């Protein structure tokens, strides 16, 4: 026999003998809790299962499904616990019922999508205002309307938003959510991925979850003021910016959602000072090495595919995500083609951590 044939014969014989031994000692494990079936080092599936169970074991509530039917809308779910495309609605002329429905869908699904909208800047801004006051963005290129942020990449400007993050954690009151529309896009690529921050929190190993509950970290916008060679900002300008916009704000690493009461893993690796974790009650700061190691572990959590859904953009597609409940990642796989998004940001409130909230 050849070596390959000899190996396969031994492999098949070994598998048959081991399976026979397992069958002889096996017990029915179908009723065993998932937590007991998973290794302590990997609870990603548990986080998803716990969040889905908390959602009633269905993608949307009966109330939301009934509201969609009344509006003539259909729902296409992209992930088990997050991400739904809402078909059959017009965002250019939103009724009160549609706005209430989208708000409810956002809370249940964390990020919602729409296709074939083709909103003007004015229409996109008007739609955003139906959900609250808007915040302008000081570190990007505005559209004709100052509340529009244009995120444009193409030749000479590869996309760099390809890291897991939630928006503007450097603000004292980070945004509730962002509403983005694709106005120009590549033939292939440029998708945006979203990850469920509630499931990510629930899927943390118990010891790690208990360690970070209640910890805070300091966030700032230093990456927007970083030295960029010839494009570096004058020190006086930097000082003026820091004087106008608070530089260094403290937020909890585990954030309680102000509307649902759910806990979410809440951090942005580019804005968070990795050495800054501390207990705001006792005033105790973690040793720098421990702080950095905890941040490293937490930043890896949203990268697990179990927590994610992926949205394929088309011209006129709109995404509305809840920054309090998800992180996102813009795939930079389309260079040198152009990809242009217009974004408006809905004002939020100051993050807090309330363990008893859920």
* Residue 39: per-residue pLDDT: 72
CB atoms within 10 A of CB 275: 17
Instruction: Report DSSP state, residue 318.
Output: E
Q: Which domains are seen in the chain, by residue range?
A: 33-349 (3.60.130.10)
Distance (Å, whole) CA 226 – CA 74: 45
Residue-level pLDDT, tens digit, the chain, 358 residues: 457 778 999 999 999 999 988 887 767 666 667 666 667 777 788 899 999 999 999 999 999 999 999 999 999 999 999 999 999 999 999 999 999 999 999 999 999 999 999 999 999 999 999 999 999 999 888 889 999 999 999 999 988 889 999 999 999 999 999 999 999 999 999 999 999 999 999 999 989 999 999 999 999 999 988 755 445 678 888 889 899 999 999 999 999 999 999 999 999 999 999 999 999 999 999 999 999 999 999 999 999 999 999 999 999 999 999 999 999 999 999 999 999 999 999 999 999 999 865 4
CB atoms within 10 A of CB 100: 14
DSSP labels, 147-200? T-EEEEEBTTB-----S-B-TTTTSSS--SEEEEEEEE--SS---EEEEEHHHH
* Residue 142: per-residue pLDDT: 84
Distance (Å, whole) CA 131 – CA 117: 18
CA-atom Rg of the chain in angstroms = 23
Answer for the pair 110, 161: CB distance below 8 angstroms, yes or no: no
Answer for the pair 75, 84: CB distance below 8 angstroms, yes or no: yes
Backbone angles phi, psi at 104, to 5 degrees: -65, -40
The strand pair at 308-311 and 263-265 is best described as: unpaired
Answer for the pair 259, 105: CB distance below 8 angstroms, yes or no: no
Give SS3 for 235.
helix
Catalytic residues: 165, 167, 328, 343
Which residue, 326, 108, 105, 38, is CA-closest to 200?
326
């Amino acid at each position: 026999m050849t070596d390959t044939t000899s190996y396969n014969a031994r492999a098949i014989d070994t598998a048959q003998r081991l399976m026979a031994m397992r069958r002889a000692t096996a017990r029915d494990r179908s009723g065993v809790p998932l937590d007991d079936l998973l290794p302590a080092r990997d609870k990603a599936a548990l986080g998803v299962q716990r969040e889905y169970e908390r959602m009633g074991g269905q993608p949307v509530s009966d109330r939301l499904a009934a509201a969609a039917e009344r509006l003539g809308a259909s729902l296409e779910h992209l992930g088990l616990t997050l991400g739904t495309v809402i078909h059959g609605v017009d965002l250019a002329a939103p009724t009160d019922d549609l706005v209430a429905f989208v708000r409810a869908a956002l809370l249940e699904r964390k990020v919602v999508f729409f296709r074939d909208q083709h909103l003007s800047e004015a229409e996109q801004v008007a739609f955003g205002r139906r959900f609250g006051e808007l915040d302008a963005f000081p570190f990007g290129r505005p559209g004709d309307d100052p509340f529009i942020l244009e995120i444009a990449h193409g030749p000479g400007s590869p996309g760099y938003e390809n890291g897991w993050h939630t928006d503007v954690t450097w603000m004292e009151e980070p945004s509730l959510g962002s509403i983005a529309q694709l106005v120009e896009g590549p033939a292939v690529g440029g998708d945006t991925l979203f990850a469920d921050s509630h499931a990510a929190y629930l899927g943390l190993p118990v010891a790690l979850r208990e360690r970070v509950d209640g910890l805070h970290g300091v966030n700032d916008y230093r990456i927007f003021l970083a030295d960029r060679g010839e494009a570096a900002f004058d020190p006086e300008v930097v000082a003026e910016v820091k004087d106008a916009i608070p530089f260094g704000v403290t937020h909890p690493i585990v954030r309680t959602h102000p509307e649902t009461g759910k806990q979410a893993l809440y951090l942005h690796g580019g804005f968070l000072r990795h050495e800054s974790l501390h207990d705001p009650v006792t005033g105790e700061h973690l040793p720098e090495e421990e702080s950095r190691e905890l941040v490293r572990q937490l930043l890896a959590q949203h990268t697990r595919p179990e927590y994610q859904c992926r949205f394929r953009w088309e011209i006129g597609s709109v995404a509305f995500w809840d920054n309090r409940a998800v992180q996102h990642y813009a795939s930079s796989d389309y260079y040198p083609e152009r990809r242009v998004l217009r974004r408006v940001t809905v004002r939020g409130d100051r993050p807090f951590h309330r363990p008893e909230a859920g």
